[in-house]
């Protein structure tokens, strides 16, 4: 089920919102964010809504709603679903007018909620790729911009052709950045839990920050530093964090089978306990 708020009204299905001449259609001026409702709980919702406002600003757009106004709309939308529904919440801000530079005051807005069950600790496979994450000199990496995802899907197509679900991407300097679709964590041979330090080449996620905090409070320090790709070849555990699945184990990296290890399982357990407390 899709439920969309657009131009003051809620509607079911894939609501038409764009025209052939809209700036976002032909020049890519759109940003979005993703949040979750899990049985009515909305972890870090305000942070996600604040980020879409900031992403819009960084792409030359203006979100026409405040965090508080969007929160009210989200809560209204959630009430239209069954109480135990697991939903994806997607605010979208897009350019509608302008020749090359979008007119900020003409920014459009749509809020979509749809059914998306959490996959739990089901694993995924991953390979490597020569394609790199851009830095801020080459792309709007300070925004969750729709235009960046054409590159992510390019990487995913490559991974699928190789027989994998996802791929680990590096930054322009050759250090590990993230998976094509989510932030990466791993446990190395010494038992350290590591995630690449945020360096402006990838979106340092809200769920990533939450997991770092939760593990730290549980006595598991997460080291944030530059990571060489070869470190993953001997990792004991690899997992990702992101809004869609929250915490997901990588159970095959290249030709190595990996367990759903204790740190991965604990990160998932801590996150779901956090959701219940919200």
Percent pLDDT > 70 in the chain is 100
User: How high is the pLDDT of residue 175?
Assistant: 98
Label the pairing between strands 30-32 and 124-132: unpaired
pLDDT of residue 110: 98
Q: With DSSP H G I counted as helix, E B as strand and the rest as coil, what are the percentages for the chain, rounded to 5?
A: 30, 30, 40
70-100 pLDDT tens trace? 999 999 999 999 999 999 999 999 999 999 9
Q: What is the pLDDT of residue 27?
A: 96
Write out the two tokens for 85.
Answer: 């529904």
Give the confidence band of 232 by pLDDT, cuts at 50, 70, 90.
Answer: very high
Distance, CA of 223 to CA of 215 (rounded, Å): 11
State the Cα–Cα distance between residues 120 and 138, nearest whole angstrom: 35
Query: In this predicted structure, what is the pLDDT of residue 67?
Result: 98
Inter-residue long-range contacts of 119-123, CB under 8 Å, 24+ positions, other chains counted: 119/245, 119/248, 120/268, 121/247, 121/248, 121/249, 121/260, 121/264, 121/265, 121/268, 122/248, 123/248, 123/249, 123/250, 123/251, 123/252, 123/258, 123/260
Please state the domain extents for the chain: 2-115, 124-277
pLDDT digits (tens, 9 = 90+) for 144-185: 999 999 999 999 999 999 999 999 999 999 999 999 999 999
pTM, to two decimals? 0.96
Residues 231-254, mean pLDDT to the nearest whole number: 98
- Helices 206-217 & 45-58, crossing angle to 10 degrees? 140
Instruction: Just give the CATH number of 2-115.
Output: 3.30.470.10
Fold of 124-277: D-amino Acid Aminotransferase; Chain A, domain 2 (3.20.10)
Average pLDDT over residues 8-27: 96
What is the CA 196 to chain-centroid distance, rounded? 16
For residue 273, what are the contacts with CB-CB under 8 A and spacing of at least 6?
Answer: none
How does pLDDT run across 180-225, given as a tens digit for each residue?
999 999 999 999 999 999 999 999 999 999 999 999 999 999 999 9
Condensed to tens digits (0 to 9), the pLDDT of residues 114-125 reads 999 999 999 999
**275 touches 43 (CB < 8 A):** yes
What is the longest distance spanned by two Cα atoms in the chain? 55
pLDDT digits (tens, 9 = 90+) for 95-109: 999 999 999 999 999
Task: Work out whether strand 246-253 and strand 222-225 pair parallel, antiparallel, or are unpaired.
Answer: unpaired
Distance separating alpha carbons of residues 177 and 227, to the nearest angstrom:
8
Mean pLDDT of the chain: 97
For residue 152, CA distances in Å to 4, 7, 157, 179 come to 25, 30, 9, 9
Identify the pLDDT of residue 207.
98
């Amino acid at each position: 089920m899709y439920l969309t708020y657009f131009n003051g009204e809620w509607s079911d299905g894939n609501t038409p919102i764009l025209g052939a001449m809209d700036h976002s259609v032909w020049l890519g001026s759109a940003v979005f964010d993703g949040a979750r409702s899990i049985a009515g709980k909305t972890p870090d919702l305000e942070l996600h809504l604040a980020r879409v406002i900031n992403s819009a600003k960084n792409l030359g757009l203006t979100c026409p709603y405040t965090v508080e106004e969007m929160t009210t709309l989200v809560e209204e939308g959630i009430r239209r679903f069954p109480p135990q529904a697991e939903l994806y919440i997607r605010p979208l801000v897009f350019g509608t007018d302008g020749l090359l530079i979008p007119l900020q005051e003409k920014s459009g807005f749509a809020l979509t909620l749809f059914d998306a069950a959490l996959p739990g600790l089901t694993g995924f496979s991953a390979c490597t790729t020569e394609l790199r994450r851009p830095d801020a000199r080459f792309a709007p990496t300070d925004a969750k911009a729709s235009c960046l995802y054409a590159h992510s899907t390019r990487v995913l197509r490559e991974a699928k052709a190789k027989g994998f679900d996802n791929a680990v991407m590096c930054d322009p300097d050759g250090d590990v950045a993230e998976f094509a679709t989510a932030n990466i964590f791993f446990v190395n041979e010494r038992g350290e839990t590591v995630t690449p330090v945020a360096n402006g080449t990838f979106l340092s996620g809200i769920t990533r920050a939450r997991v770092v905090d939760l593990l730290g409070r549980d006595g598991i320090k997460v080291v944030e530093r530059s990571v060489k790709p070869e470190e993953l070849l001997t990792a004991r555990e690899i997992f990702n964090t992101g809004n869609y699945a929250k915490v997901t184990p990588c159970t095959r990296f290249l030709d190595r089978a990996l367990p759903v290890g204790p740190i991965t399982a604990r990160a998932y357990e801590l996150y779901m306990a956090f959701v219940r407390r919200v």
